[in-house]
Structure 1
Amino acid sequence: MLDQEAVDDLFDVLARYIRIRDRAVHTTFKTADGEFETAAFKGLFHLARQSMRSRELAESLNADPSTVSRHVAQLVELGLVRREADPVDGRAILLVITDAGRERVEAMRMVRRTAMDHAMSDWTDDELWTLVRLLGRFVDAAESIIAPPCAKAPTSPMTGAPVDFVKGQK
C-alpha cells in the first residue's frame, strides 16, 4: 500500500496546481476583434496536429460539444480555423487550422516555453524529463480509474461502494 501521507500531499499539490491552471484558463484577453476566452485556443493545439470534426475535437478536449462549438466559432471568426467538407464524407465538416492559426500556436508555445524556462531555471533536462514521464504515468493511471472507457465505476476497497473521485466517496 502506498504511503497515505504522500497520497494526501499529492492531492494538496494537485489542488494548488488546479487553482493556478484555473486562473489561467478562465481568463480572457483582448484582440483587435474583441475579448476571447483562453480556453478557446486550447483546440488550436489539437488542430495543429490534425484536422478533425467538431465532435472529435470535443472528445479530445474532454469538453462539452456546445462549448467547443462556441469556441470554434470564435476561432473561425478570427481566421485561425476554417471549416471544410470532409473528403471522406462530404456531408461532414472538418475543422482545419489556418496558417494564421499555426502562427498563433507557435507564438503560444513560445510564451509557454519562456515561462517554463523562467519557472524551472534551476531544473536539469533530466529532471524535466523525469517529471514528464512520471506525470504522464500518473495521468494514465488516474484516467484508467477515474474515467475509464466503457468500464464500471471504481469501488471503495473498504466499503465496496462506488467512488466519486471528484466529490469524495458516495
Structure 2
Amino acid sequence: MHEQESTRLGDEIVRLVRMGARFRGMFKTGDLGAEFSALMLLPPLRAMGPMRVTDLAEFKQADPSTVSRQAAQLVKAGLARREADPADGRASRLAVTEAGVQACERVREARAAMLERALADWPAERITAFTDLFEEFNHAVEALLRTDPTTPPREPA
C-alpha cells in the first residue's frame, strides 16, 4: 500500500471512531439499564454461552477491570446473571438472561436500521463488496494484534 493511501485510510478510520458516540446515541433502544459499552458484552455471551469475565475481556480485547464493571451493570439491569463455573466452583461465569437476549436483539435491530438508513442509496452489490472488504480488513488487524510483539496493552473498553 502506498503511504498516501494508508494515510487516507487512517484518516477515515479516525473519522469513523469520532462519529461512534454520536452514532450510538442515535440508536432507538430505550433504556436497557446499562451503558452501551456494557450492552456490547451481550452478543458474544449470547453466541458463545456463559464465560468468565476474564475470558470475556480477552475475547473483547479489553481491560478485565473494565469488563468486570460492565458485567456488574448487566447483572444489576437483569440482562445477565452470575452462575457457578462447573470447572471451578470458586469461580463464576456470566450468562445472558432472557431479558439480555431481548436487549441484544433490540441493539442488533437498531444497529441494522441505522446502517440501512446510512446506506440507503448504495446498490446491494456495493454494500456486499464493502462488507467483504471490511471483514477482511478486521481479520488482518486482529491477526496483527495477536502476533505483533510491539502491540501495546489493551485499552479500556
- Per the shorter chain, which TM-score range? 0.7 to 0.9
Secondary structure of the residue that 1:92 maps to in structure 2?
A: strand
Q: CA deviation at 1:23?
A: 4.4
Q: CA deviation at 1:30?
A: 8.1
Deviations 1:3-30 (A, max 9, x none): 322211111111100111244569xx98
In the alignment, is residue 68 of structure 1 matched against residue 39 of structure 2?
A: no
Query: Percent of aligned pairs with the same residue?
Result: 35
**Structure 1: which amino acid aligns with 2:141?**
A
Superposition pairs of residues 1-150 of structure 1, within 5 angstroms: 2-24=1-23, 31=31, 36-49=34-47, 50-145=49-144, 147-149=145-147
CA RMSD of aligned residues (A): 2.5
| Inter-partner Cα distance in structure 1 for 2:30 and 2:120 | 30
Which has the greater radius of gyration? 1
Secondary structure of the residue that 2:95 maps to in structure 1?
A: strand
Which of 1 and 2 has higher RCO (CA within 8 Å, sep 6+)?
2
Partner of 1:160: none
Deviations 1:102-159 (A, max 9, x none): 00000111111111111100123322222222112112222333x224x5338xxxxx
| Inter-partner Cα distance in structure 2 for 1:103 and 1:44 | 10
| Inter-partner Cα distance in structure 2 for 1:88 and 1:32 | 31
| Inter-partner Cα distance in structure 1 for 2:149 and 2:117 | 43
Change in Cα spacing, 1:90 to 1:125, as seen in structure 2 (3 Å) is farther
Change in Cα spacing, 1:32 to 1:141, as seen in structure 2 (3 Å) is closer
| Inter-partner Cα distance in structure 1 for 2:22 and 2:5 | 26
Q: Residues 24 and 38 of structure 1 are in contact (CA less than 8 Å); yes or no, is this contact kept in structure 2? A: no
- Stretch deviating more after TM superposition (56-65 or 85-94): 85-94
| Inter-partner Cα distance in structure 2 for 1:107 and 1:124 | 26
Gap runs ≥5 in structure 1: 155-163, 165-170
Deviations 1:63-83 (A, max 9, x none): 111111111111101100001
- TM-score w.r.t. the length of structure 1 is 0.77
Equivalent residues, number: 149
Partner of 2:150: 153
Gap runs ≥5 in structure 2: 153-157
